Structure 1
Amino acid sequence: MWDIFKLKKLGIFAGGVLFGTAGVKLLSSKDAKKVYTSCTAAALRAKDCIMKTATTVQENAEDILAEAQQMNEERAAKEAACVEEDAKEQTATEE
């Protein structure tokens, strides 16, 4: 005996097969290929733009790092000069 539950399952299965077959036909059509090509081209353009931006950010970060290292070297040299002066003054007052 066919009850309503078995018929419902059969209907869902048939609908899935029909939808799958139509989907494969739709996805392999020439129009779909044009859409895929356009989307891929847009993704490649976006990748190029992102890579240019990333390169610019990396260059700026390298410049900032170099300037910060230079500032620290200058500060260390000034501190060393101050320590030297303090040592000379201290020895001069001791004599």
Structure 2
Amino acid sequence: MNLIVRNIAPSCTEQEVREFLKHELGHYARNVEVVDAGTPGAYATVELDAQVPYVGEVIARQIHGKHLGGMALEASADLFTDDSPPAQPPAH
């Protein structure tokens, strides 16, 4: 399960974002990847060490609104990763 964190301040470096998220998420953060650091479109994906889908949503709510670099972060859980594709509706 992945956590997507957006609205990262352009003034934040990749290292600052990674350290902040690892500190905030503790043992739940398996891997943190920061994309386009230093730009207005910067975001981070965090591979969560959690097997239950609702845990990702709870973690996203805890990160959502926290401030980094003077901006409130936006976070959401990606319930569908490459390991677990979305369920298909039953065939009729």
Structure 1 and Structure 2 fold alike (TM over 0.5): no
* Larger fraction in helix: 1
Higher RCO, 1 or 2 (CA under 8 Å, sep at least 6)?
A: 2
* Larger fraction in strand: 2
